[in-house]
Amino acid sequence: MPHPLRHSRVVLARFQHEGGNPSKPQQGRRSLLTTILASLVFAASPTQTAQAAQTDAPRPANPTGARAETVATGLENPWGLAFLPNGDMLVTERPGRVRYVSTDGKVSNPLIGAPKSVATGQGGMLDIAVAPDFATTQEVYISFTEGRGRRHKTGTSVARLKLQGTGARARLTGGKVIFRQLPAYASGYHFGSRIVFAPDGKMFITLGELGQRKQSQNLQQHLGKVIRLNRDGSVPPDNPFVARSDAKPEIWSYGHRNPQAAAINPATGALWTVEHGARGGQGCSTLTAA
């Protein structure tokens, strides 16, 4: 089993392309990841020694032309972040917290009203995304590992909430779970999960296979899938498996292991995902409906 993330000193770092305008930090921040979660330390495992024999592509002399700037410190296992219209951020910490991080680097106390997550293995409080019309709706979406009854069963769930206030006064209200991955398993890894809004307003959510590899091909389960939903959790009528009685209607694509990154190509509107593969075998894909 892959080891969960461990941390020493974790920071949020903003990457500024050389030649950019540091006085306007919001330029381009929505087009690509201009802020990343940095200084994560992965636990080593004897089963990972096969990575040493892999051949990596040659590194360019100047791979990014970017410089890093520390934005905030003191976070524990930061997992997801979302920019607010004013440039502030909401950041999830995998152990089960959501923080408000101001542009000046101030980190709030844990926000009241966050969904109750289970921090088991790689699971916990996962991704966070703000609605495209956040300025008027204040809607926030969070994916998290949810406990499901007895025998330590868990699965990935998504909640819709509203953000009230800013900075130290920020809080989450009106939480409602709009999706639950089924079935649940007693698993500590491969939960996914990213939330992405498509140009048409629909939501893509990536789901890992909870360590149940064969189930990623099973259309009667949500494991190892990318799903597509309306913002209230209902199923769009043009999803590819809506008319099939032997498939979950939420499914957009299947056969995934643990997709932990996702983004919309701003030029084409296509969904891109990054698969967290075994022993360093990551892969980037452009997804279309199955």
Just list the catalytic residues.
190
Report whether 84 contacts 131 (CB < 8 A).
Answer: no
Instruction: Give the full edge-to-edge strand order of the sheet including 97-101.
Output: 78-83, 89-93, 97-101
| Phi, psi of 49, deg, nearest 5 | -65, -20
Tokens of 63: 């791979």
Report whether 172 contacts 114 (CB < 8 A).
Answer: yes
Report whether 224 contacts 216 (CB < 8 A).
Answer: yes
Tokens of 227: 């799903």
**Strand bridging mode 171-180 / 154-164:** antiparallel
In whole angstroms, give the CA distance from residue 25 to residue 20: 9
CA distances from 38 to 75, 78, 81, 270, 281 (A): 11, 9, 12, 27, 21
**Cα angle for residues 198, 122, 94 (degrees, 5° grid):** 70
